[in-house]
Structure 1
């Protein structure tokens, strides 16, 4: 299998979502979520199309009846297609992240992204526990 191993379909179905961090071609981080879709899974960028609200902040995405629910305005996105037909995000579709399932294991196979780590962007272990910027002066 070509791609990076993420987790198992069983884990996604048991936990209802699985949060991970990816990097784009420029090395910029972004978050994605795996969500149950019928017998398999789908992967979406972890934010609403309306106001960039994160679906999963580290405690799992709110999902009901096959719909990912935006916690800010309640727009609901189909977990299989990413399409929203209601609320503030109506007539939009979540940006997808390419994954493949083989023998119950989910692999990141999207050429536009590389796997950084499981969890949120800010969950990454930094070797230096100091500030990421030297400019902490307020005016």
Structure 2
């Protein structure tokens, strides 16, 4: 069998996203999301960054999705969750960066030769609590 197991299809929220981390061919760590899609295979995978500006769709609480469209939290542009295209707002004319996946027996597998699966969740998920305090100990 080809690919690395990412998640069960049922782990992808109906109105949100499933966050996971990958490394690209240059070993740069990146975040990716699985989102629900009405077209087969029922989910799609995209890099977790708006192509218009460096803005994460899913910051650890799930991406905002409405009526089959992924919403950029920074400028409100809407991206088709299945095709990745944007036809409105500041990101009009741009497309999400895809990650190749396959769905087999209810599970999602990463099959993109340009990426290696690292782990579930985002890149900063295991750094412990964050703080905006200027105090140090």
Q: Same fold (TM over 0.5)?
A: yes
Shift of 1:55: 0.2
Assess if the C-alpha contact under 8 Å between 1:31 and 1:45 holds in 2: yes
Q: How far off its partner does 1:35 sit? A: 0.2
**TM-score, structure 2 normalization:** 0.87
**Residues in 1 aligned to 2:107 and 2:124: alpha-carbon distance in whole angstroms:** 25
Give unmatched runs, 5+ long, in structure 1.
127-139
Report the TM-score when normalising by structure 1.
Answer: 0.86
Task: Decide which of 64, 67, 83 is 1:65's aligned counterpart.
Answer: 67
How many residue pairs get aligned? The number is: 126
Name the CA shift for 1:105/1:15 in 2 (closer, same or farther; >3 Å). Answer: farther
- Where does the alignment leave 5 or more consecutive residues of structure 2 unmatched? 129-137
Matched with 2:87 is 85
* Structure with larger Rg: 1
How far apart, in 2, do the equivalents of 1:14 and 1:89 lie?
Answer: 24
Match in the other structure for 2:6: 6
Match of 1:134 in 2: none
2-structure distance, mates of 1:125, 1:59: 16
Partner of 2:24: 24
Indicate how the Cα distance of structure 1 residues 87 and 120 shifts in structure 2: closer, same or farther if over 3 A, else same: same
- Stretches (4+) displaced over 6 A: none
- Cα drift, residue 26 of structure 1: 1.7
Choose between structure 1 and 2: higher helix proportion.
1
